[in-house]
Amino acid sequence: MKTISTTELETLLQSDETLNLIDVRETDEFAGGHIKQAKNVPLSEFGAKVDELDRSKPIHVICAAGGRSMNASAYLDSLGFDVINVDGGMMSWTGETV
């Protein structure tokens, strides 16, 4: 499975604001601050919502520290998605949040 750093993610977002970014933190965590382009799909609801994900381009997955996103990424990888885990999660993110 592919991984990128938060620094690499920030660079990608500067060149492609339509990047497919999924934040798997719970709703309250997401509401406390998230990357503008991120779509919230909490890990607790992930299995039920996986069919709603866009398979047309790679999916970048982020959480708080990297553990939940790694689990979600492994699951998506097993389903044949092109997935990239964001290593270090929001704890390593130094870019803007909303």
Each residue's pLDDT, cut to its tens digit, for the chain (98 residues) gives 899 999 999 999 999 878 999 999 999 999 999 999 999 999 999 999 999 999 999 999 999 999 999 999 999 999 999 999 999 999 999 999 99
What is the structure's pLDDT at 18? 85
**pLDDT reported for residue 1:** 83
Please pick, among 63, 70, 76, 84, the residue that the annotation labels catalytic: 63
Chain centroid offset of residue 22 CA = 3
Range 55-58 contact pairs with CB under 8 angstroms and sequence separation of 24 or more: 55/81, 55/82, 57/20, 57/82, 58/20, 58/82, 58/83, 58/84
Task: Look up tokens 């929001």; give the residue.
Answer: 90
CA dist 23 → 5, 7, 33, 59 (Å): 15, 16, 11, 10
63 noted as active-site residue: yes
Record the tokens describing residue 74, joined without a space. 């492994």
